[in-house]
Amino acid sequence: MKTLLLCCLLCFGVRAARADEGMWPYNQVPVEAIRSTFGVSLDSTWLRHLQRSTVRLGNGCSGSLVSPDGLVLTNHHCVQDVLVGHSTEQNDLFAHGFVARSRAEELPAPTIAIDVLVEMQDVTARVRAALAGLDDQKANEARKRVLSQIELASEAASRKDPATGSLHCEVVTLYQGGQYMLYRYKRYEDVRLVFAPEDAIADYGGDPDNFQYPRWDLDMALVRVYEDGKPAHTPEYLHASPAGPAESDPVFVSGQPGTTERLLTVAQLERERDAVLPLRALLESELRGRYLQFGKIGPEENREVQDPLLDLENGLKVRRMELAALLDDSLLASKARDERALRAAVTADPALARDAGGAWDEVAHAQARARELEVRHDLTEGRSGMRGTLWTYARTIVRGAAEREKPNGERLREFVETQLPYVEQRLLAPDPVYPAIERLEMSFGFERLREWLGPDDPLVHAVLGRTAPDTLAARLVAGTRLADPAFREQLWKGGAKAVAASDDPMIVYVRTLDPALRAIRKQWEDEVDAPTTRGSEAIARARFAVYGTSRYPDATSTLRFNAGRVEGWTEAGKPVAPFTTIGQAFARATGDDPLALPPSWIGARAALDPATLFNYCTTNDIVGGNSGSPVVNAKGELVGLVFDGNIESIAGTYWFDPRVNRTVAVHPAAMREALVRIYGAEGLAREMGLVR
Amino acid sequence: MKTLLLCCLLCFGVRAARADEGMWPYNQVPVEAIRSTFGVSLDSTWLRHLQRSTVRLGNGCSGSLVSPDGLVLTNHHCVQDVLVGHSTEQNDLFAHGFVARSRAEELPAPTIAIDVLVEMQDVTARVRAALAGLDDQKANEARKRVLSQIELASEAASRKDPATGSLHCEVVTLYQGGQYMLYRYKRYEDVRLVFAPEDAIADYGGDPDNFQYPRWDLDMALVRVYEDGKPAHTPEYLHASPAGPAESDPVFVSGQPGTTERLLTVAQLERERDAVLPLRALLESELRGRYLQFGKIGPEENREVQDPLLDLENGLKVRRMELAALLDDSLLASKARDERALRAAVTADPALARDAGGAWDEVAHAQARARELEVRHDLTEGRSGMRGTLWTYARTIVRGAAEREKPNGERLREFVETQLPYVEQRLLAPDPVYPAIERLEMSFGFERLREWLGPDDPLVHAVLGRTAPDTLAARLVAGTRLADPAFREQLWKGGAKAVAASDDPMIVYVRTLDPALRAIRKQWEDEVDAPTTRGSEAIARARFAVYGTSRYPDATSTLRFNAGRVEGWTEAGKPVAPFTTIGQAFARATGDDPLALPPSWIGARAALDPATLFNYCTTNDIVGGNSGSPVVNAKGELVGLVFDGNIESIAGTYWFDPRVNRTVAVHPAAMREALVRIYGAEGLAREMGLVR
């Protein structure tokens, strides 16, 4: 424990680096560059406080602790599934919002677990030692094994350590395997919903305004973490400053950016451009059309489809802009220059050349193989694989049962011991299942698999037999009992024996198909992932040797820190102002979705100060996963809530352009005004420090 | 007249060129290369006979005359809208097929006009003279004017010439303006439906099999051209050979390939890759999802959506493969090499350099401007513009009224005198209008315009005001009377005055919006089309000077001739056989759409010879627009009916790869077997020469 803490203290050391971009791990924050660029001195106490006030939501969002009683601020869109889960046709919390008038009224949020990163430890040497001398495939297996061992041992140690109490531990891969870090989290599994406004104001402007600025969105929500049935005591939390920042003020963002691809090789970027993104964007566009048309059947259908539709549209917009970024040949040219420079440095150093000289070709070769396997893998085990909650439940149950029979180190990564609580929580959460959406999603998956692989492909025969996609989807969805959490629990707890004995048609179907799907995954892992990882690790080692940690690692859904300023930008020759006001939101309203203000706002209009600042934009470097991140000022006060980036920020996946890349945040004055004057929740505003 | 004929005779002269690719105008057929490659000597009589037996359908398809009584063979998918137009919920001709048992039973096909190209004349010098010394914009206007003059004068001359009778004349642009040809057509406007099989066998395998091979499709239909209420006398027609060709036999395809882009500059190809294709593919994918989901509501919805859905899916598959072709950097590298070679030849010749030295930069500059204007133009006046039959009617009426007031030479190109009969025919044809499809399409257009231009764009304000897309679409569709052909005729005939006085909501809407849309079109024509055309013409002149007509021009929906062989290919190491049989089609049937054989086939199974050849593939170089083209053997006999290409043929838009690019055709033996043994139409088989 002491060793770990010491390590962290040392890590908050002085570094020289550019300060205007970068998603920095807390142990590598370039405090010297920040001092010279922003005139702000950040010490280790300041940083540790922000680190421990930042939280990770199990669903990929970020948030912050904003009171000593476990109150957590995040985005409305981060608790969307909780709101939908509590909604019925009569009482639609997603549409109408929710305010707990007392702690007794706070509602369970079973799909959300909340983690606070308390410690970090570099375990690179230990992982390297375990892989030494192994070939690709063996190294892949050995890596899984050693990561699991480190995680389990660390969790076991925490349970015996009264200073920490039980911690959740994960080995985090940074710099494409250049560095392995053990991250230890305090986990809260009892999370409750406290406040959410109406979707109409949280997402004012709707999909057309997503990734746009200026904006007028109250995309906030409050949840609370509980321990032993009581609000958790959380001494590390952020105090809000209702005044917020001024233009040009330095501001800092803390959160879990999901994925960036800034260290990919040119061969990898070209595959993204040619194969990965076009396929996914086409499939997602079509599914978007299906969802939208389904939602036009009636208000209930429209309600059911909102949740998957918003997720999809968000992802699709990202895909579209990423593709546009990669089709800009100047980006690839700039990446090629960087790559040539690093390769030249490697060639000039015999030791580096021995280790990494062939790595780029190795990665390129794996990408060529990936292009051959892409469609088959992506449509089954990859990102465009079968959608549908019931299908996912069935696969989790069938695979989980088989995997849990194996030693921890030999399991598929998502079923290792440390992941099982997550898996179980997602599987057993009483989420609503809408049969029509399930049929739509499964049928879509079947139809596109048949289209892209061709009707004569053996896998297509195995998936469809001689049944039409709609018929098969309807039969599986109508016949399965997996919508019932108790039934899922029974199968999950019953393990391999229960799965083998089940006659539930969805379980039987997935059980029969699973060997073919596992084979696709295995081939992908062996022929694409393993050589890509090995090559990338060699390149990362070389990059380390040349540049050290003066460069930040790609985002990996792990905690990062970033410095920026409140600042507009210039678009097509016109300045975009950094702040918007509540008055402008009213001026913009048309009364029709997505520009219809909710009745609560219209009713409160006279009581609101139209000059109240609403949203603002900053130069912070964020990506998806930063949703819900706190924005703090130099004093460490909460001065904003990240909920989006401008459209230019999407190219941030591949590079950061400080001229136009902007973060978009909710201003604390708008939070205060809404809580106090619209939602009658002055108590919450006071608890956050928005009212003093 | 004699001059023209002489010109044509001379044109069928000896040329040295590659024979295995190329869509050759009939006056440039490389007979010498064909003799040496295929061992077949084609003389001018042979070629003229094939030319005059080939027809163009007004809807972009090809076909051939197959009897002296005006019988025309084309594809089922080319008469799809005729079948749908005669269909009702009770009697679905598209699904169930149609056989006229006598000439009296032949059904009107009002949306189809049929043209036979009888003469060609080079008018390049005359057009050049009219453009000499003019700047871009003026040259654009002058070109429109002189083309109209030539066309009108030629039509007037034909009306006075008893040898030809009234002809329809069009000036055709070849080699991107390197050559202008006057094409004179014999036109048949009274066309009637004679025979079509069930969609289930015409399109067996459905969309999954589109652009695939092997195939088993009876994608044929028969129509008949009438004159003065009687079957037209057509002395030039093809005799069918029921035996068909053998493997490796030379075969020739005649028809109207729509568009290829083989002479585009690298800058133009890059814009296609980066801007044009991704936008269109995304929009079309989403619309596909909307159509599909709409069709799942019930059988009537499914019937209504088939026609637009099939068109869309066909186009989308093309877009996807074109994008894949352009993302293959080796294609662009090869194009860049060709471009460098031609530029070097231009630079080396002072006269050429003066004329065309700056042309590539000029085209590149216009492409850069196009990228800026792309979205706005494409979503309004371009290919992704507003869909919907009612919208199209309204725009034709509103624009047509205004344009007809102008002198012929100053009109928008689609409203010049020679085009008006087409325009009127399409406008007044009694096609069915389905309000739900109209709402779907209009709403889609509105939503995507708002998405891509942003809700604050002035055009979006003009289009939507403060109304939601669904609301506006529903209001316009419910309120308009444009579904009634008599109402359309009244407005069309009433001209500008009737349009100005109309209170039909769709007319009022389009009338109000039209100035904004015309401004977008004007800007595009001035800043993109005009400089691109000028630059391309200069490049084309240079290419002429260097290579002559030894290279074929890009396809432009004009009549072309192509030579190839019956030949399979090798895919992923496995040979694909060139022929399929009727027996295989039965073996493949699942009973579920799209692999459900129609009842007529199942009932006739015992009577059919399973070894009958069904489809086959050839090395002919075709693209969309060749649908319905005859395949003939060295004797000039009809031995097949083109209906598709394999997936590799789509890259044919940009280049021809003889190793894998294949044409797919219906075998005459399958036509005979089906007409005689399944459809009881031996009379038609006899008329075609399939039964002797």
**Token pair recorded at residue B546:** 């260097």
Distance from CA of A668 to the nearest CA of B (A): 26
In this prediction, residue A594 carries a pLDDT of 87
Q: Which of B629, B625, B691 is nearest to B665 (CA)?
A: B629
In this prediction, residue B386 carries a pLDDT of 85
Q: Which amino acid is at A684?
A: L
Which residue from B minimizes the CA distance to A205? B455
Confidence of residue B592 (pLDDT cuts 50, 70, 90): confident
Q: Which among A281, A289, A471 has CB closest to B290?
A: A289
Q: Is B615 exposed, middle or buried (0-12, 13-18, 19+ CB in 10 A)?
A: buried
Residue of B269, B273, B286, B441 for testing the chain A interface, max A β-carbons within 10 Å: B286
Residue of B212, B284, B285 for testing the chain A interface, max A β-carbons within 10 Å: B285
Confidence of residue B177 (pLDDT cuts 50, 70, 90): confident
**Average pLDDT score over residue span B302-326:** 89
Is pLDDT above 50 for A122?
yes
What Cα–Cα distance (Å) separates residue A16 from each residue in A28, A270, A621, B600?
10, 32, 18, 80
Place of tokens 């003389």: B43
**Average pLDDT score over residue span A575-582:** 96
Q: Does A440 touch chain B (CB under 8 A)?
A: yes
Is pLDDT above 90 for A288?
yes
Q: Does B692 touch chain A (CB under 8 A)?
A: no
Average pLDDT over all residues of chain B: 92
**Among A291-305, B187-201, B642-656, which stretch is predicted with the lowest mean pLDDT?**
B642-656
Confidence of residue B15 (pLDDT cuts 50, 70, 90): very low
- Rounded Cα distance, A151 and A140, in Å: 17
**Average pLDDT score over residue span A540-558:** 86
Which residues of chain A lie closer than 8 angstroms to B463, CB-CB? none
Distance from CA of A139 to the nearest CA of B (A): 31
What Cα–Cα distance (Å) separates residue B179 from each residue in A592, B28, B61?
54, 12, 24
Provide the total of helices (H) and of strands (E) in chain B, helices listed first.
Answer: 27, 20
Which residue from B minimizes the CA distance to A453? B208
**Average pLDDT score over residue span A517-545:** 91
Q: Are B319 and B284 in contact (CB under 8 A)?
A: yes
Give backbone dihedrals phi and psi of A116, rounded to 5 degrees, phi first. Answer: -120, 125
Which residues of chain B lie closer than 8 angstroms to A302, CB-CB? none
**Average pLDDT score over residue span B454-464:** 89
Domain boundaries, chain A: 2-13+45-113+189-260+560-688, 266-547
Which residues of chain A lie closer than 8 angstroms to B323, CB-CB? 278
Place of tokens 């010498």: B32
In this prediction, residue B460 carries a pLDDT of 94
B230 contact partners, CB below 8 Å, separation of at least 6: none
Q: Which of B564, B15, B20 is nearest to B254 (CA)?
A: B564
A545 contact partners, CB below 8 Å, separation of at least 6: A349, A352
Is pLDDT above 80 for A560?
yes
- How many beta carbons lie within 10 A of that of residue B333, not counting itself? 10
DSSP single-letter state for residue A247: T
Residue of B290, B329, B444, B448 for testing the chain A interface, max A β-carbons within 10 Å: B290
**Among A365-369, B318-322, B439-443, which stretch is predicted with the lowest mean pLDDT?**
B318-322
Q: Does B141 touch chain A (CB under 8 A)?
A: no
Which residue from B minimizes the CA distance to A372? B572
Which residues of chain A lie closer than 8 angstroms to B468, CB-CB? 592-593
**Average pLDDT score over residue span A68-86:** 95
Confidence of residue B664 (pLDDT cuts 50, 70, 90): very high
Which residue from A minimizes the CA distance to B448? A208
Q: Which amino acid is at A600?
A: S
- Rounded Cα distance, A496 and A499, in Å: 5
In this prediction, residue B20 carries a pLDDT of 66
Give A407-431 pLDDT, tens digit per residue.
988 899 899 988 898 899 899 998 8
Confidence of residue B213 (pLDDT cuts 50, 70, 90): very high
Distance from CA of B310 to the nearest CA of A (A): 14
- Rounded Cα distance, B608 and B623, in Å: 33
In this prediction, residue A171 carries a pLDDT of 95
In this prediction, residue B11 carries a pLDDT of 31
In this prediction, residue A20 carries a pLDDT of 66
Q: Which of B428, B316, B452 is nearest to B374 (CA)?
A: B452
Is pLDDT above 80 for A160?
yes
| pLDDT more than 70, % of chain B | 97
Q: Does A327 touch chain B (CB under 8 A)?
A: yes
Q: Which among A212, A294, A450 has CB closest to B454?
A: A212
Which residues of chain B lie closer than 8 angstroms to A444, CB-CB? 289
**Average pLDDT score over residue span B590-619:** 95
Q: Does B371 touch chain A (CB under 8 A)?
A: no
Give B59-77 pLDDT, tens digit per residue.
889 999 999 999 999 999 9
The vertex-B39 CA angle with B34 and B43, nearest 5°, equals 60
- Rounded Cα distance, B443 and B421, in Å: 31
Torsion angle of C-alpha atoms A513, A514, A517, A521, degrees rounded to 10:
180
Distance from CA of B189 to the nearest CA of A (A): 39
In this prediction, residue B19 carries a pLDDT of 54
In this prediction, residue B682 carries a pLDDT of 96
Q: Are B279 and B45 in contact (CB under 8 A)?
A: no
In this prediction, residue A105 carries a pLDDT of 97
Which residues of chain A lie closer than 8 angstroms to B451, CB-CB? 207-208
Per the DSSP assignment, residues forming a β-bridge with B122 are B181
**Among A80-89, B240-249, B554-563, which stretch is predicted with the lowest mean pLDDT?**
A80-89
Q: Are A562 and A41 in contact (CB under 8 A)?
A: no
Distance from CA of A590 to the nearest CA of B (A): 6
Average pLDDT over all residues of chain A: 92
CB contact under 8 A, B285 and A285: yes
Q: Which CATH class is domain B2-113+189-256+559-688?
A: mainly beta
What global pTM score does this model have?
A: 0.76
In this prediction, residue B206 carries a pLDDT of 87
Residue of A290, A309, A322 for testing the chain B interface, max B β-carbons within 10 Å: A290
Give A392-409 pLDDT, tens digit per residue.
999 999 999 999 999 988
**Average pLDDT score over residue span B559-564:** 96
In this prediction, residue B4 carries a pLDDT of 29
Q: Which of A74, A89, A151 is nearest to A640 (CA)?
A: A74
Q: Are B55 and B47 in contact (CB under 8 A)?
A: no
DSSP single-letter state for residue A487: H
Confidence of residue B551 (pLDDT cuts 50, 70, 90): confident
Tell me the count of A-B CB pairs closer than 8 A: 107
Q: Are B436 and B526 in contact (CB under 8 A)?
A: no
Is pLDDT above 60 for A507?
yes
- Rounded Cα distance, A14 and A28, in Å: 8
Which residue from A minimizes the CA distance to B288? A286
Is pLDDT above 70 for B429?
yes
Confidence of residue B466 (pLDDT cuts 50, 70, 90): confident
In this prediction, residue A655 carries a pLDDT of 86
In this prediction, residue B556 carries a pLDDT of 92
**Average pLDDT score over residue span A128-137:** 86
- Rounded Cα distance, A560 and A558, in Å: 6
Long-range CB pairs of A654-657, under 8 A, 24+ apart, other chains included: A654/A260, A654/A261, A654/A262, A654/A264, A654/A269, A654/A322, A654/A325, A654/A326, A654/A331, A654/A335, A655/A262, A655/A325, A655/A331, A655/A334, A655/A335, A656/A21, A656/A22, A656/A262, A656/A621
Give A599-636 pLDDT, tens digit per residue.
999 999 999 999 999 999 999 999 989 999 999 999 99
Q: Does A571 touch chain B (CB under 8 A)?
A: no
Q: What is the DSSP track for A526-590?
A: IIIIHHHHHHHHHHHHHHHHHHGGGSPPPPBSS-EEEEEEB--EEETTEEE-SEEEHHHHHHH--
In this prediction, residue A208 carries a pLDDT of 77
Is pLDDT above 90 for B324?
no
A374 contact partners, CB below 8 Å, separation of at least 6: A271, A275, A276, A279
CB contact under 8 A, B290 and A287: no
The vertex-B637 CA angle with B636 and B642, nearest 5°, equals 100
Is pLDDT above 50 for A15?
no
Q: Does B207 touch chain A (CB under 8 A)?
A: yes
Confidence of residue A534 (pLDDT cuts 50, 70, 90): confident
CB contact under 8 A, A208 and B455: yes
CB contact under 8 A, B281 and A283: no
Which residues of chain A lie closer than 8 angstroms to B592, CB-CB? 466-468, 471
Q: Is B450 or B65 the better-scoring residue by pLDDT?
A: B65
Which residues of chain B lie closer than 8 angstroms to A266, CB-CB? none
Which residues of chain B lie closer than 8 angstroms to A454, CB-CB? 208, 212
Q: Which among B293, B328, B454 has CB closest to A290?
A: B293
Q: Does A102 touch chain B (CB under 8 A)?
A: no
Distance from CA of A30 to the nearest CA of B (A): 37
Is pLDDT above 90 for A94?
yes
Q: What is the DSSP track for A593-628?
A: TTS---HHHHHHGGGS-TTSEEEEEE-----TT-TT
Long-range CB pairs of A418-426, under 8 A, 24+ apart, other chains included: A418/A148, A418/A151, A418/A152, A418/A155, A418/A168, A418/A169, A418/A170, A421/A113, A421/A168, A421/A189, A422/A58, A422/A113, A423/A396, A424/A492, A425/A58, A425/A110, A425/A111, A425/A113, A425/A189, A426/A111, A426/A396
Q: Is A15 or B344 the better-scoring residue by pLDDT?
A: B344
**Average pLDDT score over residue span A461-484:** 94
CB contact under 8 A, B455 and A595: yes
Q: Which among A286, A323, A467 has CB closest to B289?
A: A286
Confidence of residue A19 (pLDDT cuts 50, 70, 90): low
Considering only residues 443 to 502 of chain A, which have any Cβ-Cβ distance to chain B shorter than 8 Å?
Answer: 444, 447, 450-451, 454-455, 466-468, 470-471
CATH 2.40.10.120 fits A2-13+45-113+189-260+560-688, yes or no: yes
Give A510-522 pLDDT, tens digit per residue.
999 999 999 999 9
- Rounded Cα distance, A73 and A641, in Å: 8
Considering only residues 283 to 312 of chain B, which have any Cβ-Cβ distance to chain A shorter than 8 Å?
Answer: 283, 285-294, 296-297
Residue of B210, B459, B592 for testing the chain A interface, max A β-carbons within 10 Å: B592
Q: Which amino acid is at B212?
A: Q
